[in-house]
Amino acid sequence: MAIQRRDILEAAQRIVATYGLADLTMRRLATELGVQASAIYWHVPNKQSLLAELADDLLGRVPEPSPRRRWDRQVEQLATGLRTTLLGQRDGAEIVSASRASSLDTSHLGKRIVEIVEAGGHPHARAVASRDALLHFVIGFTFDEQSHTTMVEHGAAPTRFGDSDASFTAALAIVIDGIRA
């Protein structure tokens, strides 16, 4: 039976969930699926494309905000939803960071942030800058949280004191105040 693109994506997600992103190779993917590497290359030409597919899938899972809420609350919901989605996949922030140079600005999520900020009465250039500030902050923050988790697992760092959710909320409020300003 021929493998489908969806099978490849799911196998890649299982490998990352179990072993981490560093262990995701095209070879390991072929072994996991029990096929020749050539069967994979037909769907996904290289690791960079695979990362882009994983990132698109993750970003696509961020819930759409409630349209009845005020624009700044919608932006807050998107940012919080992005962090929760990234934390739900091992090395999620690294996957998005590694692939975003090619796709994030043009992602559905990036476009939605620009639309919502514009709908709040801001000019396009400011909406674009708001998207950049917001996405880099959320992904950077979550990358740090996930790196720390990995380091603790490897015994390379002590468990951090403090409430990560509260730190995120407080720093996100600063960025959103800036968008509103």
- Choose between 59 and 104: whose C-beta lies nearer to its own copies: 104
Q: Does 25 bind its own copies (CB under 8 A)?
A: no
- Choose between 22 and 119: whose C-beta lies nearer to its own copies: 22
Which residues, other chains included, contact 63 with Cβ-Cβ below 8 Å and sequence gap of 6+?
Answer: 77, 81
**What is the C-alpha separation between 29 and 25, in angstroms, rounded?**
6
Q: Rounded to 5 degrees, what angle do the CA atoms 44, 83, 72 make?
A: 120
**What is the C-alpha separation between 44 and 53, in angstroms, rounded?**
9
- Per the CB < 8 A criterion, the answer to whether 41 and 30 are in contact is no
Residues 128-167 that bind its own copies (CB under 8 A): 128-130, 132-133, 135-137, 139-141, 143-145, 147-148, 151, 156-157, 160, 167
- Choose between 6 and 160: whose C-beta lies nearer to its own copies: 160
Residues 46-75 that bind its own copies (CB under 8 A): 46, 48
| CB of 96 vs its own copies, minimal distance in Å | 10
- Choose between 4 and 41: whose C-beta lies nearer to its own copies: 41
How many residues sit close enough to its own copies to count as binding (CB under 8 A)?
Answer: 43
- Could you give the residue ranges of the DSSP H alpha helices within 20-153? 26-33, 37-41, 47-60, 71-87, 92-103, 108-119, 124-153
